[in-house]
């Protein structure tokens, strides 16, 4: 077994949820309304041990050799030559995505750009993004060799331009998952998610595997950490050897921004230098190939993955979840295979996505569901970016799992690195103090590197944000993060919304259009035609983004995410973060003894589905049918056993909000109570079939939406949910983070 596999072995990378983001493309209703079933009696034996992780041989850094062509004609003598294998389809590797979608990016695009630049087809910066300039360069290269000049890079285009074999399915899966992870080779993010610090293409975390990986880096390429971190190397080494609690404390000390997403500039730059090193990039790719690709193929074989999208789904699961082998995921997947052995394609992937998310760690379930569903359906929004998977070179083409074990790895060739910008070297700084320790601890085991003499460790001091430059602020000198108050003062001049905090000080005399021009790469086409108000809202969104607050799409339109971003900036101005109202735990009481939502428990308590005794409960405010606003009603028909409780809830809501606020909050939008139906695609009856569930404002709280889009997840509805929960009713949104419209008199 190789040292690489010995070190990482079968250890899983613990899931860490990402920043909240709008939900993905439509998700299978049946999956969302049916929980994973435990394995039935007579289930297959437990999963066998996976293939050793050091089995594949990873090619060395550099391009794989092209197949040798025969020097002349080949004479074939009897016996007759077998029929040649069908030619490999010339698949699309990359294409520029439509407006509103994230175009392909990453190292593969960098390789393509570097080769195009070397051939004289590309003059822009090598930024790794398949944008208009790259598309135009591909067209020029296609025209130069007489190919169809449409700007879509096919496998044949890649091979002709770069001289390398077309990227393998592993390369493509890694490229997509790296985009989901969001850190690339170089970016470090702070302790926004409980991982202390995250860095690298597959998201190494200080909480788990970053110390081991950096140990490999230094073992393979001694001196790399010193070159990247300079005088901060000593502090970094102490952090890597510290206890879990001390690593968390240090992660908090270097995390900055309203939600600790960003990292202090000195450390951010140091990790960027480390990730920009070609040798370190190669190690990251090898790690992904040797660790996660084997886990992916193991799971693909077990659950009979059939096409490239299936494989991409299991690879993303390997990286984010450590694979699908844990019992909470594996057993329901086995059950699905037994129950529906002929299920395949999109329908099967949707169910896989639901099962994998349900079996994940609770804090990560929504993010897991979003990522898997985006891959499963081919379209979705992950961490604020819209993805169209086909543009990233992934189509549902059949695959040979045995052949995938030998999938090659694509690296940046040394011949193309000359066109890459050189990583800056760290400036010498005074040696930092060691990391703080709460109490003396035993000295670490000796290592080949010289260690500092043991001494009491003073606290780590995080440098303050750079001061505002002397003199008046200008469009060139103003900083979107440091000077956010001045920028907000400028924006608020033209924003006439009522009820907004306007205490931002005197606005400096700077034209908004000059500020937007600095960030025009983040703005949609046509932004210059916007009026002053829309430009001002876009400025608010850009300021929030610079302060590590998610404003949603930068579109100049004031929606729910912009309002939340504005509220966060108000709190940031006061020096306190916006309260984590989304982390509120539901009130878990059951004063009326509502049963669980299993069909047997519901039937035992409420009677047979669709044959229940209903009564009408008066609603103190006028309700409007969500699908027909012209129809109003003042009563709700519900099961007789929940009628008194429902009446108390409605009266309490009316007293708390009042008629006008209820209309403003759309709590008059009624989506129905009784509906005799099964969960689509399931034999289980919906709780609506007992008239014990109600849907509210379904248009703005759609089934697949999470707390980042559903309006009923906003803080203004906190009391609304408290009123329901004190009566024992359960919100699927509050407990499962989907179907926020739905509240029921049954427990999970």
Which CATH number belongs to the domain containing residue 732 in this structure?
A: 3.30.1380
pLDDT at 555 over 50: yes
- Tell me whether residue 562 is in a domain: yes
20: pLDDT strictly greater than 70: no
Q: Would you say residue 470 lies in a domain?
A: no
Lowest mean pLDDT among 327-331, 492-496, 619-623, 676-680: 676-680
Residue 263 lies in a domain: yes
Backbone angles phi, psi at 105, to 5 degrees: -150, 180
Q: Which residues pair with 743 in a beta bridge?
A: 694, 731
Q: What is the CATH number of the domain that holds 121?
A: 1.10.101.10
Does residue 250 share a domain with residue 144? no
Whether residues 156 and 272 fall in one domain: no
Range 388-393 average pLDDT: 96
Give the domain range for residue 269.
Answer: 3-42+179-404
The predicted-structure confidence for 669-717, as pLDDT tens digits, reads as follows: 999 999 887 665 456 888 999 999 999 998 888 887 888 788 898 877 8
HSE-up (13 A, CA, CB side) for residue 485:
11
Please give the pLDDT value at position 329: 95
Residues 572 and 631 in one domain: no
Whole-angstrom distance, CA of residue 116 vs CA of residue 143: 13
Candidates 199, 201, 226; CA nearest to 211 is: 199
- Of 372, 432, 329, nearest to 38 (Cα)? 329
pTM of the predicted model over 0.85: no
With a cut of 80, say whether residue 115 has pLDDT above it.
Answer: yes
Residue 230 and residue 196 share a domain: yes
∠ CA 146-148-152, nearest 5°, is 130
Q: What is the mean pLDDT of residues 80-94?
A: 60
**Are residues 194 and 310 located together in one domain of the fold?**
yes
- Do 194 and 324 lie in a common domain? yes
Q: What is the pLDDT of residues 244-253, one digit of tens each?
A: 889 999 999 9
Confidence at residue 272, expressed as pLDDT on a 0 to 100 scale: 93
Angle, CA 218 vertex, CA 217 and CA 224 arms, to 5°: 90
Does residue 461 belong to any structural domain of this protein?
A: no
Whether residue 11 has pLDDT greater than 50: no
Distance between CA 401 and CA 509 in Å, rounded? 63
Number of domains in the chain: 4
Handedness of CA 157, 162, 163, 167 (dihedral sign): negative
Q: What is the mean pLDDT of the chain?
A: 80
423-473, pLDDT tens digit by residue? 444 444 444 444 444 444 444 444 444 434 433 333 333 334 445 555 688
More confident residue, 17 or 487: 487
Give me the pLDDT at residue 540, please: 95
pLDDT at 461: 35
pLDDT of residue 616: 94
The gap between the terminal CA atoms of the chain, to the nearest Å, is 45
Distance between CA atoms of residues 344 and 373, nearest Å: 15
Average pLDDT over residues 96-103: 92
* Cα 330 to Cα 301: distance, rounded to the nearest angstrom: 13
Reported as a pLDDT band with limits 50, 70 and 90, residue 44 is very low
Q: Residue 78: what pLDDT?
A: 41
Asked if residues 702 and 718 have their Cβ atoms less than 8 Å apart, the reply is no
Report if residue 271 sits inside a domain.
yes
Query: Distance between CA 66 and CA 159 in Å, rounded?
Result: 9
Q: Is 435 part of a structural domain of the chain?
A: no
Question: Is 12 in the same domain as 150?
Answer: no
Contact between 704 and 32 (Cβ < 8 Å): yes
Q: Are 653 and 722 within one domain? A: yes
Q: Are residues 309 and 198 part of one domain? A: yes
What confidence score (pLDDT) does residue 180 get?
93
* Domain termination residue (choose one: 134, 163, 192): 163
513-519, long-range: CB within 8 Å, 24+ apart, which pairs?
A: 514/475, 515/475, 515/478, 515/487, 515/490, 515/539, 515/542, 516/542, 518/475, 519/480
Average pLDDT over residues 81-103: 73
Q: Are 443 and 453 in contact (CB under 8 A)?
A: no
- Of 359, 377, 404, the last residue of a domain is 404
One-character DSSP codes across 232-245: GHHHHHHHHHS-HH
Q: List the structure tokens of 431.
A: 């040696």
64 pLDDT higher than 70: no
The runs of H, that is alpha helices, within 382-483 are 401-404
In terms of domains, do 571 and 617 share one? no
How many percent of the chain have pLDDT more than 90? 52
Token pair for 662: 């209820």
- Assess whether pLDDT exceeds 60 at residue 497: yes
Residues 6 or more apart from 312 whose CB is under 8 A from it?
Answer: 169, 172, 173, 176, 177, 375, 389, 394
Does residue 138 surpass a pLDDT of 70?
Answer: yes
Q: Is residue 523 part of a domain?
A: yes
Render pLDDT for 360-380 as a digit per residue (tens, 0 to 9). Answer: 988 889 999 999 999 999 999
Give the DSSP H/E element, type plus range, for residue 571. Answer: helix 560-573
Q: Write down which residue in 365, 380, 404 finishes a domain.
A: 404
CA distances (Å), origin 428, targets 231, 235, 278: 6, 14, 23
Sign of CA dihedral 114, 116, 119, 121: negative
**Residue 77 placed within a domain:** no
As a whole number of angstroms, the distance between CA 20 and CA 198 comes to 16
Residue 55 has a pLDDT of 32
Supply 149's token pair.
């000049």
Band of pLDDT at residue 34, cut at 50, 70 and 90: very low
Let me know whether 150 and 210 are in one domain.
no
User: What pLDDT, on a 0 to 100 scale, did the predictor assign at position 377?
Assistant: 96
Beta strands of 446-568 (E only): which ranges?
A: none
Percent of the chain with pLDDT strictly greater than 70? 78
Please, which pLDDT band fits residue 551 given cuts at 50, 70 and 90?
Answer: confident
229 shares its domain with 256: yes
SS3 category, 615: strand
**Cis before residue 231, ω within 30 degrees of 0?**
no
Please compute the mean of the pLDDT values over residues 609-637 and round it to a whole number. 91
Among candidate residues 257, 380, 458, 251, the one with its CA nearest the CA of residue 705:
380
């Amino acid at each position: 077994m190789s040292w690489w596999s010995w070190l990482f072995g079968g250890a899983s990378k613990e899931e860490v949820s990402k920043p909240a983001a709008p939900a993905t493309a439509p998700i299978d209703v049946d999956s969302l309304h049916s929980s994973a079933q435990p394995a039935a009696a007579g289930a297959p034996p437990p999963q066998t041990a996976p293939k050793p992780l050091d089995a594949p041989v990873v090619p060395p850094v550099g391009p794989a050799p092209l197949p040798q062509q025969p020097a002349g004609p080949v004479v074939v003598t009897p016996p007759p030559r077998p029929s040649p294998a069908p030619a490999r389809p010339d698949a699309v590797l990359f294409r520029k995505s439509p407006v509103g979608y994230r175009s392909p990016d990453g190292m593969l695009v960098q390789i393509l750009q570097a080769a195009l630049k070397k051939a004289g087809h590309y003059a822009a910066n090598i930024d790794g993004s398949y944008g208009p300039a790259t598309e135009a360069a591909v067209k020029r290269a296609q025209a130069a060799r007489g190919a169809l000049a449409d700007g879509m890079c096919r496998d044949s285009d890649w091979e002709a331009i770069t001289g390398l074999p077309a990227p393998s399915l592993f390369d493509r899966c890694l490229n997509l998952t790296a985009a989901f992870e969001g850190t690339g080779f170089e970016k470090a993010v702070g302790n926004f998610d409980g991982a202390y610090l995250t860095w690298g293409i597959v998201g190494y975390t200080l909480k788990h595997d970053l110390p081991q990986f950096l140990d490999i880096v230094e073992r393979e390429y001694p001196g790399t950490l010193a070159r990247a971190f300079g005088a901060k190397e000593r502090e970094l080494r102490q952090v890597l050897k510290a206890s879990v609690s001390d690593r968390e404390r240090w992660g908090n000390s270097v995390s900055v921004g309203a939600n600790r997403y960003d990292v202090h500039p000195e450390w951010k730059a140091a990790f960027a230098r480390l990730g920009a090193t070609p040798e370190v990039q190669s190690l990251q790719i090898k790690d992904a190939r040797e660790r996660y690709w084997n886990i992916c193929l193991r799971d693909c074989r077990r659950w009979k993955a059939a096409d490239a999208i299936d494989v991409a789904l299991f690879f993303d699961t390997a990286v984010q979840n450590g694979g699908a082998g844990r019992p909470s995921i594996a057993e329901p997947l086995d059950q699905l295979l037994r129950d529906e052995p002929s299920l395949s394609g999109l329908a099967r992937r949707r169910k896989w996505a639901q099962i994998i998310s349900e079996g994940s760690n609770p804090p990560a379930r929504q993010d897991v569901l979003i990522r898997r569903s985006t891959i499963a359906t081919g379209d979705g929004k992950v961490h604020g970016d819209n993805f169209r998977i086909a543009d990233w070179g992934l189509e549902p083409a059949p695959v040979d799992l045995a052949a995938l074990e030998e999938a090659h790895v694509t690296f940046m060739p040394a011949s193309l690195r000359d066109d890459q910008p050189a990583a800056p070297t760290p400036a010498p700084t005074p040696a930092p103090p060691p990391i703080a320790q709460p109490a003396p601890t035993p000295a670490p085991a000796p290592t080949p590197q010289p260690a500092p003499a043991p001494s009491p460790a003073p606290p780590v001091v995080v440098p303050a944000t750079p001061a505002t430059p002397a003199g008046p602020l200008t469009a060139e000198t103003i900083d979107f993060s440091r000077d956010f108050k001045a920028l907000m003062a400028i924006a608020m001049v033209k924003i006439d919304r009522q009820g907004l905090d306007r205490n931002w000080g005197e606005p400096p005399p700077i034209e908004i259009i000059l500020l937007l021009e600095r960030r025009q790469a983040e703005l949609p086409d046509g932004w210059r035609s916007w009026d002053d108000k829309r430009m001002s809202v876009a400025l608010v969104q850009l300021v929030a983004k610079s302060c590590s607050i998610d404003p949603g799409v930068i579109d100049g339109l004031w929606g729910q995410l912009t309002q939340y971003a504005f509220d966060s900036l108000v709190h940031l101005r006061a020096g306190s973060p916006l309260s984590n109202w989304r982390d509120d735990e539901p009130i878990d009481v059951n004063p009326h003894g509502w049963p669980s939502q299993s069909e047997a428990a519901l039937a035992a308590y409420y009677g047979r589905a669709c044959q229940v005794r209903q009564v009408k409960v008066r609603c103190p405010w006028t309700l409007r049918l969500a699908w027909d606003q012209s129809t109003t009603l003042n009563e709700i028909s519900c099961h007789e056993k929940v009628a008194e409780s429902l009446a108390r809830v409605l009266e309490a809501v009316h007293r708390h909000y009042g008629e006008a606020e209820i209309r403003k909050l759309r709590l008059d939008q009624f989506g129905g109570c009784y509906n005799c139906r099964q969960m689509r695609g399931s034999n289980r009856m919906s709780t609506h079939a007992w008239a014990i569930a109600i849907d509210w404002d379904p248009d703005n709280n759609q089934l697949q939406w999470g707390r980042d889009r559903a309006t009923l997840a906003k803080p203004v509805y906190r009391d609304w949910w408290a009123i329901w929960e004190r009566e024992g009713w359960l919100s699927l949104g509050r407990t499962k983070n989907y179907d926020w419209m739905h509240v029921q008199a049954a427990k999970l």
